[in-house]
Amino acid sequence: VQLQASGGGLVQPGGSLRLSCAASGLRFNSGAMGWFRQTPGKEREFVAAVRWNSNNKHYANSVKGRFTVSTDKPKNTVSLQMNSLSPEDTAVYYCAAAASNLIVSSLFTPVSWNYWGQGTQVTVSS
Look over the chain and give the mean of its residue pLDDT values, rounded to a whole number: 93
pLDDT cut 90: percent of the chain above it = 79
Rounded to 5 degrees, φ, ψ at 89 are -85, -5
Q: What is the pLDDT, as a whole number, of residue 124?
A: 98
Gap between the Cα atoms of 112 and 68, Å rounded: 22
DSSP state of 11: E
With 80 as the cut, is the pLDDT of residue 115 above it? yes
Condensed to tens digits (0 to 9), the pLDDT of residues 34-73 reads 999 999 999 999 999 999 888 899 999 999 999 999 998 8
Per DSSP, helices labelled H in 14-99 are none
Condensed to tens digits (0 to 9), the pLDDT of residues 96-114 reads 999 888 888 888 999 999 9
Per DSSP, helices labelled H in the chain are 104-107
Strand partners, 118: none
Strands 9-11, 120-124: pairing is parallel
If pLDDT is split at 50, 70 and 90, which confidence band does 16 have? very high
